Amino acid sequence: MDRRSFLKSSAAMAAGAFAPLPGFADSPAAGGPTVLMLQSRVIEVEGKAASVLGIAQPDGTRGLFTDVSTPFHVQVRNGLDTESLIHWHGLTPPYRQDGVPYVAAPPIPAGGRQDYDFKLDIAGTFWMHSHVGFQEQHLLSAPLIIRDGASERAGRQEIVIMLHDFSFRSPEEIYAGLRQRKGGGELAMASMKLPGAAGQGTTGQKTTGQGTAGQGTTAAAMEAKPDLNDVDYDAFLANDRTLADPDIVGVEPGGRVRLRIINGSAATNFWIGLGALRGTLIAVDGMAVKPMALNTMPLAVAQRADILLDLPAGTGAFPILAQVEGKTDRTGIVLATMGAKVGRVEKNAAMPAPAVTLDFEQSLTAAKPLAPQEAGILRDVLLTGDMQAYVWSMDNQVYPKITPIMVSAGKRVEFVMKNETMMSHPMHLHGHSFQVVAVNGRRFSGAVRDTVLVTPQASVTIAFDTDNVGRWAFHCHNLYHLEAGMMAVVDYEGVRMPQLL
């Protein structure tokens, strides 16, 4: 196999193709839209069958791999027995095509179709996911990769790693459990969460079967501790697989690789670890950063990272791992040269990973920062909530009972997000890329992104230009926080908007 076809076939493999769905596989006419089908599928998790959802083209390709010079011309066909709507996470389409129910457009009914057609303006690692109910936790998400030919020119093999958190329980049941914790009292709440104190760091009602009892009433528990990992997941997936049976991607000895890592989790922040390798981070959330050599980095819910790897000469197997913050649980894939012995990687690390802080965020520098400009609109946005009742909000307003945040076109906006809670919130603004310009009041020229983690009691300032008129969702990307009401809407003045919901 020559190098080019090797790169091609391994890219298809890394895309995690799954079988075409009978009856839905009529190919569109040439020049027509790329068809993306929403479908049910069965995967195997830890030896058990799991019914999940997925997004695939008629030929089985998961998600969409396209070129920045090609318009985004897509038809979504809803093959589910329920309504759905897909958001193009990180893209900046006209707002009616943004895929947020009732904010951008009504959901697509079961069996229905919806066309999308807009110009792409940035290449990068993006993703697509349902914005309806808990469908994202059912794995109704996929890669959305926009290429600019850089990898081909550099002879780099592109490898996509899509991360998920997974539970055999339904998300509705998980959410009901979270809401029921109300009335537990502050101490009980604090003691339920001792990240990293003893392995799994979970006590209280989440301990069942985990054998970490007896640490719930230590003095440390009485302090207000950051609250990590509300949900006890059964598994963590990388390209739909666990480390018991990981995705093994063929690489060449001395090969050049571009990892495109997507955290598609509903509620889990990871630490990415490159093992024996060092890589060069070149982009976060699809947007270029000043290249940074690293071996490990945090990746919050909904964020992406593009990492270049130059593999050593000779045969070898290289696990690329993602470990849950505050826990020992991890998942990952293995890069392996032909004939390399692939050893088993345990699904639990020796030590729990630390909580994700803002240290790494502050070490990032945008490759193309926003042009310097005084903010014409400057606004605090409080991240608020009531842990006991498990109600999450922005500016103490619970979606959909909100007053929109008003902006006007052609302005530089700065939002100072102030997290008043003890949980971190991966905050995502639709329709715009923003630059992180301050953390806790200290200004710097941080990454351009679409999702930034705001840690407990911290403040993060984002800046963006109002260059995409419409109505835009602005929300916490923790799916359970979102469902509990942690969403705002940014409206452009002078645009007549329909009633929310």
Would you state the torsion angle of the CA atoms of residues 103, 109, 112, 118, taken in this order, to the nearest 10 degrees? 10
CB of 164 or CB of 481, closer to Cu ion: 481
CB of 76 or CB of 300, closer to Cu ion: 300
Which of positions 434-453 make contact with Cu ion (CB under 5 A)?
none
CB of 485 to Cu ion, least distance (A): 10
Q: What length is written for the chain?
A: 501
CB of 486 to Cu ion, least distance (A): 5
CB of 352 or CB of 485, closer to Cu ion: 485
CB of 434 to Cu ion, least distance (A): 17
Which DSSP letter does residue 498 get?
P
CB of 480 to Cu ion, least distance (A): 8
Provide the token pair at 458: 């911290």
Radius of gyration of the chain (CA): 22
Binding footprint of Cu ion, residue count (CB under 5 A): 4
CB of 95 or CB of 472, closer to Cu ion: 472
Task: Identify the residue among 481, 483, 489, 491 touching Cu ion (CB under 5 A).
Answer: 481
CB of 21 or CB of 402, closer to Cu ion: 402
Helix (H, G, I), strand (E, B) or coil at 375: coil
Task: Identify the residue among 425, 432, 449, 475 touching Cu ion (CB under 5 A).
Answer: 425
| Whole-angstrom distance, CA of residue 240 vs CA of residue 36 | 19
By CB under 5 A, tell whether 475 contacts Cu ion.
Answer: no
Tell me the C-alpha to C-alpha distance, in Å, between residue 249 and each of 11, 246, 346: 9, 9, 18
CB of 190 or CB of 302, closer to Cu ion: 302
CB of 141 or CB of 269, closer to Cu ion: 269
Q: Which residues are bridge partners to 281 per DSSP?
A: 292, 307
CB of 95 or CB of 390, closer to Cu ion: 390
| Termini Cα distance of the chain | 54
| Whole-angstrom distance, CA of residue 449 vs CA of residue 92 | 12
By CB under 5 A, tell whether 147 contacts Cu ion.
Answer: no
CB of 433 or CB of 451, closer to Cu ion: 451
| Whole-angstrom distance, CA of residue 211 vs CA of residue 203 | 9
Among the listed ranges 14-22, 216-224, 328-336, 418-426, the one in contact with Cu ion (CB under 5 A) is 418-426
Helices then strands, each counted (H, E), the chain: 7, 31
Query: Going by C-beta distance under 8 Å and a sequence separation of 6 or more, which residues neighbour residue 243?
Result: 330, 331, 332, 344, 345, 346, 347
Among the listed ranges 25-33, 56-64, 364-372, 470-478, the one in contact with Cu ion (CB under 5 A) is 470-478
CB of 171 to Cu ion, least distance (A): 15
CB of 457 to Cu ion, least distance (A): 14
Among the listed ranges 18-26, 295-303, 430-438, 477-485, the one in contact with Cu ion (CB under 5 A) is 477-485
CB of 311 or CB of 476, closer to Cu ion: 476
Among the listed ranges 2-10, 12-20, 302-310, 421-429, the one in contact with Cu ion (CB under 5 A) is 421-429
What are the E-state strand segments in 104-255?
113-118, 124-130, 141-147, 157-166, 235-238, 248-251
The DSSP-derived string for 5-59 is HHHHHHHHHHTT--PPPTTS-PPPPTTSPEEEEEEEEEEEETTEEEEEEEEE-TT
Provide the token pair at 86: 């897909």
CB of 331 to Cu ion, least distance (A): 22
Helix, strand, coil percentages (3-state) for the chain, rounded to 5, are 10, 40, 50
CB of 482 to Cu ion, least distance (A): 7
By CB under 5 A, tell whether 260 contacts Cu ion.
Answer: no
Token pair 């589910």 is found at: 80
Residue 212 exposed, middle or buried by CB count within 10 Å (0-12, 13-18, 19+): middle
By CB under 5 A, tell whether 476 contacts Cu ion.
Answer: yes
CB of 300 to Cu ion, least distance (A): 10
By CB under 5 A, tell whether 478 contacts Cu ion.
Answer: yes
Among the listed ranges 91-99, 117-125, 451-459, 472-480, the one in contact with Cu ion (CB under 5 A) is 472-480
Among the listed ranges 86-94, 189-197, 349-357, 422-430, the one in contact with Cu ion (CB under 5 A) is 422-430
Among the listed ranges 11-19, 108-116, 434-442, 469-477, the one in contact with Cu ion (CB under 5 A) is 469-477
CB of 77 or CB of 425, closer to Cu ion: 425
Provide the token pair at 228: 């990590």
Among the listed ranges 43-51, 98-106, 301-309, 479-487, the one in contact with Cu ion (CB under 5 A) is 479-487
CB of 302 to Cu ion, least distance (A): 11
Among the listed ranges 128-136, 316-324, 420-428, 461-469, the one in contact with Cu ion (CB under 5 A) is 420-428
The DSSP-derived string for 377-408 is EEEEEEEEEETTTTEEEETTB-TTS-PPEEE-
Tell me the C-alpha to C-alpha distance, in Å, between residue 121 and each of 68, 69, 255, 429: 6, 8, 30, 17
CB of 474 to Cu ion, least distance (A): 12
CB of 241 or CB of 425, closer to Cu ion: 425
CB of 200 or CB of 478, closer to Cu ion: 478
Binding residues for Cu ion, rule: CB under 5 A, are 425, 476, 478, 481
